[in-house]
Chain A
Amino acid sequence: LAKTTQPISMDSYEGQEVNITCSHNNIATNDYITWYQQFPSQGPRFIIQGYKTKVKNEVASLFIPADRKSSTLSLPRVSLSDTAVYYCLVGEYSGAGSYQLTFGKGTKLSVIP
């Protein structure tokens, strides 16, 4: 089962770009990389998902190098409302309909005014 490693916490000032890197050294060929955001007293919320190279949506970008052993979530121009915990997940499909998404401990991002 692929495990992920992220920094426990990060601080950033408002308006800055924030990059959160996740290591997943034993990612398998079939695995996708997904990021979720969680605010206090709420369930996690999907941000972005990718398999390789670069993915971008209206809220974030995801960079995945060729070896796929790491990935970087990029949040442009963060605001106070981006203060949350960010989880990197690697989805493992083992065939016959069996798969699992494993959440790590996440990265607590604090945005400072």
Chain B
Amino acid sequence: EAGVVQSPRYKIIEKKQPVAFWCNPISGHNTLYWYLQNLGQGPELLIRYENEEAVDDSQLPKDRFSAERLKGVDSTLKIQPAELGDSAVYLCASSEGLSFTDTQYFGPGTRLTVL
């Protein structure tokens, strides 16, 4: 079974440029998560989708970050414009059900460097 797929794996951009990350969750998984992980820190939840609906986006900086999950499958996270402080690893995860006790399966992440 294929795991969570993320692309690109690495991205280097100049500040003020836009950037987008793509996530393909495990087939059949209803819940999708985007996390941000800074060096030496644990992942921080940005947004959680149940099927197509964003049910928790309280930690998403909405002035520059946006996300979508069309048809309840793939998801895209966008930053526009990027700032130096956005340099981090962006992780996508998915879980089969809608319960918080469901195991989350993480992708390898996208490492973003903003110059």
Contacts and interface: CB of A to CB of B under 8 A. Distances in A.
Contacts of B105: 46
B15 to A, nearest CB: 24
Given A99-B100, A105-B41, A105-B42, A42 B55 contact: no
A19 B36 CA distance: 28
A103 B40 contact: no
A32 B100 contact: yes
Nearest to B9: A41
Given A42-B108, A43-B4, A91 B42 contact: no
A98 B55 contact: yes
Contacts of B107: 43
A43 B42 contact: no
Contacts of B91: 43-44
A101 B106 contact: no
> Chain B binding site: helix, strand, loop or mixed by DSSP?
loop
Contacts of B41: 105
A102 B41 CA distance: 12
> Chain A binding site: helix, strand, loop or mixed by DSSP?
strand
B43, B56, B98, B105 interface centre (most CB from chain A within 10 Å):
B43
Contacts of A46: 103-105
Contacts of B101: 32, 34, 49, 91
Interface of A: 32, 34, 41-46, 49, 87, 91-93, 97-106
Given A42-B109, A45-B106, 8 more contacts: A34-B101, A43-B109, A49-B103, A91-B100, A91-B101, A98-B55, A103-B42, A105-B40
Interface of B: 4, 35, 40-45, 50, 55-56, 91, 93, 98, 100-101, 103-109
